Amino acid sequence: MTSISKTSLSERVYIGIFGKTNSGKSTLLNYLTGQDAAIVSPIEGTTTDPIRKAMEITDFGPVVFIDTAGTADETQLGKERYEKTLAEIDKVDVFLYVLSSGDDLEIIPKFKDKPVIYMAMKVDTGEGSQILKAFAGKNPIGVDLASTKSRDEIFSKIKALYKKEDLTITKNLVKKGDMVVLVMPQDAAAPKDRLIKPQVMTIREIIDKGASAICTDLSNFETTIKSLNKIDLIITDSQAFKEVYEKKPSDVKLTSFSVLFSAFKGDLEYFVESAKVLDGDIKNIIIAEACSHPPVDEDIGSVKIPKLIKRTHPDINIDFARGNDPIAYEKYDLIIACGSCMFNRTHVLSRVAKAKEAGIPMTNYGIAIAKLNGILEKISLPDEK
């Protein structure tokens, strides 16, 4: 079994530490993790970029703590640091807000309806006691650095407030005893000697479900399927959708890694509905990829999808966003996101919510490619219920 300590950051619960400058955020991170993960200093603006520290909370699971730069930063780079702090909000599942004297809590509304746990540092001093009294209505936890009691109280509150979803990648499409064929062409952007993350995660889940996974590339696909007496499902890389659909047995279900991740990470129903705009007259599209690797000649996001789109929309304008690049939603007729294996689900759903709020359709690579190849209605979609 894979060690839980090796769980990737995108599959962990994100716990963000927020508050004013010098409120004790970095001290709290070090206290919770039991390590000197962040530099602690009385100098304002010590924390610049967000600091991430992965760990496991007993009887809860893998998490990643994010220590953010403080708000009300009056240093020369304060505005830039504040923007980076705001950019972390979309990724966070649970907020730990460190209170300080005279705090106006102005950032709290930006957390929307996500759980917030308030805490006061320096409870061994008069300042900490005053903070506890001033914000008694928020039921803050007083943090005693000399004891593990406060840590246990914080962890217990996290467990009580955040209920983890029991999500699977393949959902109803794979069951015990199934034979699944995975078509995995390795393009130039794929890491040498390694499979990409969605492939690894899907293979592991298939095995954990008691099913069998047969992996091949497109050149060996026909030979592989002819050698098998039983095939229950074919999962392909989306860029090979058309070729695999044309060569597969007519009675065998077909989906793609990206389609599976559209339900695992995002909003499958919205993605499918949004893809319909590709039939109409659209002018501006943005293609958003979670990875920040430089594009290559056969890159699916920067080369292959635009080529498909321009077959029917030759004059369309296509922009690109990579990694955490901000998206000006209102500028576009459609947003096409990758499978988002490098983003946590909360981050993806935050982007979906912003697209819906702006009234902008949003889909992902697999759904868009199936639509552009005229097979979206013919592939198998995971049941989100």
Q: Which residue has the higher pLDDT, 71 or 292?
A: 71
Q: Which long-range contacts (CB under 8 A, 24 or more apart) does 21-24 make?
A: 21/45, 21/69, 21/70, 21/71, 21/72, 21/73, 21/74, 22/70, 22/100, 23/70, 23/98, 23/99, 23/100, 23/103, 23/121, 24/98, 24/100, 24/121, 24/122, 24/143
Give the per-residue pLDDT at 6.
55
Contact 37, 64 (CB under 8 A): no
Q: What percent of the chain has pLDDT over 90?
A: 70
Per-residue pLDDT tens over the stretch 111-122: 999 999 999 997
Per-residue pLDDT tens over the stretch 306-337: 999 999 999 999 999 988 888 999 999 999 99
Q: How many CA atoms lie within 13 A of 77 on its CB side?
A: 10
CA distance linking residue 49 with residue 80, whole number of Å:
10
How does residue 1 score in pLDDT terms, banded at 50, 70 and 90?
very low
Give the per-residue pLDDT at 383.
86
Q: Which residue has the higher pLDDT, 50 or 329?
A: 329
Q: What is the mean pLDDT of the chain?
A: 89
Q: What percent of the chain has pLDDT over 70?
A: 88
How does residue 39 score in pLDDT terms, banded at 50, 70 and 90?
very low
Give the per-residue pLDDT at 193.
67
Give the per-residue pLDDT at 76.
63
How does residue 3 score in pLDDT terms, banded at 50, 70 and 90?
very low
How does residue 341 score in pLDDT terms, banded at 50, 70 and 90?
confident
Alpha carbon 209 to chain centroid distance? 23
Task: Please compute the mean of the pLDDT values over residues 209-217 and round it to a whole number.
Answer: 97
CA distance linking residue 65 with residue 67, whole number of Å:
7
Structure tokens at 142: 């007083």
Per-residue pLDDT tens over the stretch 257-277: 999 999 999 999 999 999 999
Determine which of 25-34, 71-80, 308-317, 343-352 has the lowest per-residue pLDDT on average: 71-80
Give the per-residue pLDDT at 81.
81
Closest C-alpha among 368, 12, 384 to residue 170: 384
Closest C-alpha among 273, 259, 268 to residue 379: 259
Give the per-residue pLDDT at 96.
98
CA distance linking residue 288 with residue 322, whole number of Å:
6
Give the per-residue pLDDT at 185.
85
How does residue 48 score in pLDDT terms, banded at 50, 70 and 90?
low
The CA distances from residue 369 to 26, 40, 197, 225, 357, in Å, are: 44, 49, 20, 23, 25
Task: Please compute the mean of the pLDDT values over residues 16-27 and round it to a whole number.
Answer: 92
Task: Please compute the mean of the pLDDT values over residues 114-142 and round it to a whole number.
Answer: 90
Contact 381, 259 (CB under 8 A): yes
Q: Which residue has the higher pLDDT, 340 or 251?
A: 251
Give the per-residue pLDDT at 296.
59
Domains defined for the chain, CATH in brackets: 13-161 (3.40.50.300), 179-261 (3.40.50.11420), 267-377 (3.40.50.11410)
CA distance linking residue 365 with residue 288, whole number of Å:
9
